[in-house]
Chains A and B, each alone.
Chain A
Amino acid sequence: MTKAALLRYIGRSNLWKATPIIALSIAAVLLAAGIAIALMAARSYESQKSREVGVQAEILSSTVSAALTFGDQKAAQEYVGALAANPEILSAAIYDSAGAQFATYSRSPDFQPPTRMPPRGTVAENNRLSVVTPVMQERSRIGAVFLQVVTEPEQRRLARAGIIALLITMVAIVVGVLGIAHSTLTRANAELEQKSLALAEANRSLMKQIDEREKAEAALRQAQKMEAIGQLTGGVAHDFNNLLQIILASVGTLRRRALRWNLSPDVTADFNALVDGAVEGANRAAALTRQLLAFARRQPLEPTKIDVNRLVAGMSELLRRTLGEAVAVETVLAGGLWSIFADANQLESALINLAVNARDAMPGGGELTIETANAYLDEAYVRSLPDVPAGQFVLIAVTDTGSGMTEAVLASAFEPFFTTKDIGHGTGLGLSQVYGFVKQSGGHIKIYSELGAGTTVKLYLPRLISPDVKEDGDPIDLPPPQALRSELILVVEDEEAVRSFTVEMLRELGYAILEAADGHAALRLIDSNPAIQLLFTDVGLPGGVNGRQLADEALIRRPELKVLFTSGYTRNAIVHGGRLDAGVALISKPFTYAALAEKIRQVLNAS
């Protein structure tokens, strides 16, 4: 039994509660007994006294019998006068047979014996005891003796009253001490109980804190793991991107040159098939690296204002084709949905990735539901999420009726290359892309899954508050735009292979080109060539001046200069929080000939 439990037990037991009553009863009984004993002592003293006086009266009566018999008043007076030796005797008298006084004695004038003989017997009143005894001679009554004494001396009465007062005082003290002790104990008991309650409360709160901390630590660990994987993936993907850029550029150049070689139609067909294969492989590799970068959150986003309902509605046909006939697609689109500010292509990719996962979780067919809604993540909810602010979000929930995930699978679901699919059926990058995109967009992602029932993936993307961003127009396929007046472009790229292929492509498009390998060289060229209209620079440059710094410096000297950035990823300079700076144009590697042509023209035409 713990101390607290013991205290509670004592607190509850009836014995404890009855203690003061029992103690008071005992005190009352003791007091009553004490008073009774005192009274009995007084009574017994009185009766003893009465016997004593009776004996004294008997002695006197027998002594005075002769004096009475012979009428010797003088002798009788001597006898009663001798009683003065006893201070207790107040008065005495001897009466003759006729009842008249024969001899008298009184201690003071206040105590006069009765003038006529009183009736025989003992009378006690006013602390006085009167005894009348007959004087007998030969069986005949010849008179009577009267004696009056103080029943109890004043000292004795005071002593008795003192004892009773002492008794009452002691009982009062006992009762008082008991009362104080009891109230003190009761108070201490209550305090202890309160303390134990407070302790229990503190313990509960501590447990809760520990629990929350464990959750936060787990979330932090997960975030750190994702970050580390992201760093690794991003680094590899960046280098890989540069290599793909070289391959794609080389193959493109090869194809264009082949046109001039006047090959026979057979050779041309063969050549084209081989080149197409190389381009397709390189494009697939580029798509993979894009997804890796997306996960690593180092993918340059081009966020625009998006009406999610419109985007989802526009995707339904694509989704139906992707999922096949066995899966029914339903969209539940909330009215009055807020806009978001995100990269529309990435969002589409994310939804397709989720749809593909859902399809794979429902091999026998099923239902896919895409819901949209306005949502609010409050402080309490985001407390355990390291990098999600509270606020308004647009919720996109993708729900399937598939097999669901185990907890272990759920824990690793976002990790790149983690897949439950057979080898060759999945890259393990689908959810990673979704995760990276959502995180990079400042959103939140949450998976709810139940084995055998299905899975819901919820994407929370932050609501767009400032509406001054143009909506994405419908893309129109156009032939790559050419240079108009052979505009002079300065290409700055530290990696020589990439630079030469870029220069090659731009020259093919009809532009005049100057090239530089670092920032300092580029600035010198800008100073000496006022005709340069466009600065096309890689973000990451060696030599202490990066692409952003170069552009800033160049714009100070040539405010009208147009700038287009390129990067495998944009780490610091260009991308702030994953978004392009307003007015800054960027084309991400690897880029195609057509994309480059379009982007260059767009930047040059911008006013």
Chain B
Amino acid sequence: MALCARWILGVTAVLLAWASANAVRAEESGMLELAVKATFLYKFQPFVIWPASAFPAPAAPFVLCVVGKHPFGLLLDKVVEGARAGDRAVTIRRLATVSPDDHCQILYVGTDDPVVAKQLEAPVNGAPVLTVTDEIKEQTAKGIINFVIADNRVRFEIDNAAAMSRGLVISSKLLSLAVSEAAGP
């Protein structure tokens, strides 16, 4: 198990390094960009603290949900395979629509349409879920974290006010990496 985790981490690191070194090619290659995003999705987890109410049970797994389009395919499964979030196992759920009963901790909203994004996210609005949107330009439709491409690299914006309103605490380390912190409503 531990060996497996290490292997995955190794792959991730290689990918990351590769991704950093070849940012230009990353843009050319949608696959690479997706891989970076998939890795980032999983990696947000250590920098965020969820309230206890976010989990249905103390031993419940950490759930990473993908709603809307599923751009990652098996990449995401490979990233999280055997990985753990603290003491919890990590599972991936691909959903057509999300509901609070899904007990997602991270929700990837798979669309670049602000209206669709709002709709997809609406069921868990206000719930302790870290919503991640992908290159949404409309301010009001952005999730707590919104992937952007800056300097030909995958970066992200963070709306800390939104996170706080949902009972989430985002580490300042992560905040410091954000391209710009979205102002709260």
Question: Whole-angstrom distance from the CB of A495 to the nearest CB of chain B?
Answer: 161
Pick from A69, A75, A97: contact of B43, CB under 8 Å: A69
Bound: A71/B17 CA distance, A:
7
In the assembled complex, which residues on chain B have CB atoms less than 8 Å from the CB atom of A137? Answer: 46
In the assembled complex, which residues on chain B have CB atoms less than 8 Å from the CB atom of A140? Answer: 5-6, 9
A138 touches B176 (CB 8 A): no
A75 touches B13 (CB 8 A): no
Q: Is A205 an interface residue (CB 8 A)?
A: no
B43 touches A70 (CB 8 A): yes
Question: Whole-angstrom distance from the CB of A59 to the nearest CB of chain B?
Answer: 11
Q: Which residue of B lies closest to A64 (CB)?
A: B173
B17 touches A75 (CB 8 A): no
In the assembled complex, which residues on chain B have CB atoms less than 8 Å from the CB atom of A67? Answer: 173, 176-177
B47 touches A66 (CB 8 A): yes
A71 touches B6 (CB 8 A): no
Contact with B along A42-77 (1 / 0, CB 8 A): 000000000000000000001101110111110100
A70 touches B177 (CB 8 A): yes
Contact with A along B34-77 (1 / 0, CB 8 A): 00100010010011000000000000000000000000000000
A66 touches B171 (CB 8 A): yes
B6 touches A75 (CB 8 A): no
In the assembled complex, which residues on chain A have CB atoms less than 8 Å from the CB atom of B171? Answer: 66
Pick from A66, A71, A138: contact of B16, CB under 8 Å: A71
Q: Is A142 an interface residue (CB 8 A)?
A: yes
Contact with A along B1-33 (1 / 0, CB 8 A): 000011001100110110110000000000000
Pick from A62, A63, A70, A100: contact of B40, CB under 8 Å: A70
Contact with A along B164-176 (1 / 0, CB 8 A): 0000000101101
Bound: A142/B6 CA distance, A:
11
Bound: A71/B86 CA distance, A:
22
Bound: A161/B173 CA distance, A:
44
Question: Whole-angstrom distance from the CB of A102 to the nearest CB of chain B?
Answer: 9
Q: Is A98 an interface residue (CB 8 A)?
A: yes
Bound: A178/B176 CA distance, A:
69
Question: Whole-angstrom distance from the CB of A330 to the nearest CB of chain B?
Answer: 142
Question: Whole-angstrom distance from the CB of B18 to the nearest CB of chain A?
Answer: 10
A71 touches B5 (CB 8 A): no
A72 touches B13 (CB 8 A): no
Q: Is A96 an interface residue (CB 8 A)?
A: yes
A98 touches B13 (CB 8 A): yes
In the assembled complex, which residues on chain A have CB atoms less than 8 Å from the CB atom of B86? Answer: 138
Bound: A70/B86 CA distance, A:
19
Question: Whole-angstrom distance from the CB of A63 to the nearest CB of chain B?
Answer: 6
Quick one: which of B146-168 are within 8 Å of A by CB? 153, 155-156
Given contacts A137-B46, A138-B46, contact A73 B20 (CB under 8 A): yes
A66 touches B173 (CB 8 A): yes
Question: Whole-angstrom distance from the CB of A145 to the nearest CB of chain B?
Answer: 14
In the assembled complex, which residues on chain B have CB atoms less than 8 Å from the CB atom of A66? Answer: 47, 171, 173-174, 176-177
Q: Which residue of A lies closest to B19 (CB)?
A: A71
Name the interface size band of chain B: 20 to 34
In the assembled complex, which residues on chain A have CB atoms less than 8 Å from the CB atom of B46? Answer: 69, 137-138
Bound: A69/B47 CA distance, A:
10
Q: Which of B6, B86, B176 has the most CB of A within 10 A?
A: B176
A97 touches B13 (CB 8 A): yes
A75 touches B5 (CB 8 A): no
In the assembled complex, which residues on chain A have CB atoms less than 8 Å from the CB atom of B85? Answer: 138
Bound: A138/B5 CA distance, A:
11
Quick one: which of B102-146 are within 8 Å of A by CB? none
In the assembled complex, which residues on chain A have CB atoms less than 8 Å from the CB atom of B9? Answer: 97, 140
Bound: A98/B17 CA distance, A:
8
Quick one: which of A134-149 are within 8 Å of B by CB? 137-138, 140, 142
Contact with B along A71-108 (1 / 0, CB 8 A): 11101000000000000000000001110100000000
Bound: A98/B5 CA distance, A:
16
In the assembled complex, which residues on chain B have CB atoms less than 8 Å from the CB atom of A96? Answer: 13, 16-17
In the assembled complex, which residues on chain A have CB atoms less than 8 Å from the CB atom of B43? Answer: 69-70
Question: Whole-angstrom distance from the CB of B161 to the nearest CB of chain A?
Answer: 20
Bound: A65/B16 CA distance, A:
14
In the assembled complex, which residues on chain B have CB atoms less than 8 Å from the CB atom of A138? Answer: 46, 84-86
A142 touches B13 (CB 8 A): yes
In the assembled complex, which residues on chain B have CB atoms less than 8 Å from the CB atom of A69? Answer: 43, 46-47
Given contacts A66-B171, A69-B43, A137-B46, contact A75 B177 (CB under 8 A): yes
In the assembled complex, which residues on chain B have CB atoms less than 8 Å from the CB atom of A98? Answer: 13-14, 17
Bound: A591/B166 CA distance, A:
177
Q: Which residue of B lies closest to A62 (CB)?
A: B173
In the assembled complex, which residues on chain A have CB atoms less than 8 Å from the CB atom of B40? Answer: 70
Question: Whole-angstrom distance from the CB of A158 to the nearest CB of chain B?
Answer: 40
Q: Which residue of A lies closest to B9 (CB)?
A: A140
B20 touches A75 (CB 8 A): no
B13 touches A65 (CB 8 A): no
A65 touches B173 (CB 8 A): yes
Bound: A65/B6 CA distance, A:
17
Question: Whole-angstrom distance from the CB of A197 to the nearest CB of chain B?
Answer: 93
Question: Whole-angstrom distance from the CB of B93 to the nearest CB of chain A?
Answer: 21
Question: Whole-angstrom distance from the CB of A78 to the nearest CB of chain B?
Answer: 9
Question: Whole-angstrom distance from the CB of B62 to the nearest CB of chain A?
Answer: 12
Bound: A100/B17 CA distance, A:
10
Bound: A62/B10 CA distance, A:
20
In the assembled complex, which residues on chain B have CB atoms less than 8 Å from the CB atom of A65? Answer: 173
B17 touches A72 (CB 8 A): no
Quick one: which of A100-142 are within 8 Å of B by CB? 100, 137-138, 140, 142
Q: Which residue of B lies closest to A75 (CB)?
A: B177
Q: Which residue of A lies closest to B176 (CB)?
A: A75
B173 touches A71 (CB 8 A): no
Question: Whole-angstrom distance from the CB of B16 to the nearest CB of chain A?
Answer: 5
Q: Which residue of B lies closest to A70 (CB)?
A: B177
Question: Whole-angstrom distance from the CB of A333 to the nearest CB of chain B?
Answer: 142
Bound: A62/B19 CA distance, A:
23
Bound: A96/B21 CA distance, A:
12
A71 touches B20 (CB 8 A): yes
Bound: A70/B9 CA distance, A:
13
Given contacts A69-B43, A137-B46, A140-B5, contact A63 B20 (CB under 8 A): no
Bound: A75/B150 CA distance, A:
13
In the assembled complex, which residues on chain A have CB atoms less than 8 Å from the CB atom of B153? Answer: 71
Bound: A69/B39 CA distance, A:
9
Question: Whole-angstrom distance from the CB of A256 to the nearest CB of chain B?
Answer: 177
Bound: A63/B175 CA distance, A:
11
Question: Whole-angstrom distance from the CB of A60 to the nearest CB of chain B?
Answer: 12
Bound: A142/B43 CA distance, A:
12
Q: Which residue of B lies closest to A98 (CB)?
A: B17
Bound: A70/B171 CA distance, A:
14
Q: List 25 A-B contacts (CB under 8 A).
A: A63-B173, A65-B173, A66-B47, A67-B173, A67-B177, A69-B46, A69-B47, A70-B40, A70-B43, A70-B177, A71-B20, A71-B36, A72-B155, A75-B177, A96-B13, A96-B16, A97-B9, A97-B13, A98-B13, A98-B14, A100-B17, A138-B84, A138-B86, A140-B5, A140-B9
- Given A96-B13, A138-B85, 6 more A-B residue pairs with CB atoms under 8 Å apart are A63-B173, A67-B177, A72-B155, A72-B177, A137-B46, A140-B5
**What 5 A-B pairs come out closest when comparing CB atoms?**
A66-B173, A71-B20, A97-B13, A72-B177, A138-B46
